[in-house]
Amino acid sequence: MPRSATMRGRYAPSPTGDLHVGNARTALVAWLAARAAGGSFVLRVEDLDPPRVVAGAEEQTIDDLRWLGLDWDEGPDVGGPHSPYRQSERSRLYRQALRTLGAAGRIYACTCSRSELRGLLSAPHGPGTEGPPYPGTCRDKGIPVEIDVDADARVRRPSLRFRVAEHERVKFRDAVAGDVEQDVSADVGDFIVRRSDGLFTYQLAATVDDVAMGINQVVRGADLLHSTPRQILVLKVLKAAVPEYGHVPLVLSSSGDRLAKRTRPVSIRQLRFGGFAPERVVGAMAHALGLVDRAAPVAARDLVDTFRWKKIGTEPWTLSRDAFSM
């Protein structure tokens, strides 16, 4: 696939808590990939779900990323030509995208509740984390589609689903995982693009923002690898170019669990106030990724010239107690 003259990468954190080591490692790879290609780097805040947003988390994340030695050309704190850089301020673009999807006959309204779906669905979970494939209960009911509504958790409206064609398969090549193929209809089914409370989903908002901001390199965690085929389907209906993808292996706790903010994993803030230098943290993450041969302090800027995607393995990193001791 032809690439734009200038690579445009991004990192898009959610301000739902402290920046943990797993997310920081993904940010490091995203930054290195953009800088190594001589491209631009964008910081975008994914704050679509107000109840989950933690006051001060955005500012803390920005401070932690800068402490690690990362910078960006566009973002909520520096501005740029594609502002605003907070998703909560970009609803107009998501509504425009829904109109395009609607005109193409690819969205429909769904009144199924989560409890109703649990009663209907008993198949094993697919490759994603959102449950078994949707059976298409509301697909042909002809429920009116409303697009110009405001988010309100107190009002339950029909959700909007993207209509996936039968046996609709998506293939793409990932910079880490290699060739990926998914039958979206069998593995996921018709997926939600706007929730019943009026909030736009990650599958829609992240895709629309990447198009609007000219992002042609998407780097994120491996847990989102199976979201990519859905986003590619949306891109095709929007007649937008498909970016390059790189999904970074996850960081696991010492017990083997995926790091998640709800479990209070090791955060960059903890390491900072625990007396660790940023070079030591970056060095440990770079070594775990395979970007350097040994665990030794290194500045992020000193990794740019030697960054190569082929160095990054596919196995997750199990975080030990002495991971940052050098």
pLDDT score recorded for residue 125:
29
pLDDT exceeding 90 applies to what percent of the chain? 78
Q: Judge whether residue 159 has pLDDT over 60.
A: yes
Averaged confidence pLDDT in the chain? 90
Is residue 211 scored above 80 in pLDDT? Answer: yes
- Ranked by mean pLDDT, which of 3-7, 291-295, 315-319 comes out on top? 291-295
Those residues whose C-beta lies under 8 Å from the C-beta of residue 293, and which sit 6 or more positions away, are: 287
What average pLDDT does range 212-236 have in this prediction? Answer: 96
| Ranges in the chain annotated CATH 3.40.50.620 | 8-88+206-318
Active site residues: 261
Average pLDDT over residues 123-144: 72
Q: Are 311 and 289 in contact (CB under 8 A)?
A: yes
Query: Tell me: the pLDDT tens digits for 79-123?
Result: 999 999 999 999 999 999 999 999 999 999 999 987 655 544 433
Structural tokens at position 168: 């609709």
* Position 128 confidence tier, pLDDT thresholds 50, 70, 90: very low
- Ramachandran bin of 121, using left for φ above 0, alpha for ψ from -120 to 50, beta for the remaining angles: beta
- Give 3-state DSSP helix, strand, coil % of the chain, rounded to 5: 35, 15, 50
Whether the pLDDT of residue 5 is over 60: the answer is no
CATH of the domain spanning 91-204 = 3.90.800.10
Residues of the chain with CATH 3.90.800.10: 91-204
The answer to whether the beta carbons of residues 145 and 107 sit under 8 Å apart is: yes
| Residue 151 clears pLDDT 80, i.e. is over it | no
Give the CATH H-level superfamily of domain 8-88+206-318: HUPs (3.40.50.620)
C-alpha separations of 70 from 27, 99, 116, 325 in Å: 8, 37, 46, 22
pLDDT tens-digit map of 226-278: 999 999 999 999 999 999 999 999 998 766 666 665 555 789 999 999 999 99
As a residue count, the chain comes to 326
Give strand ranges (E) for the chain. 8-11, 40-43, 107-110, 159-162, 169-174, 178-183, 191-194, 217-221, 244-248, 251-252, 317-318
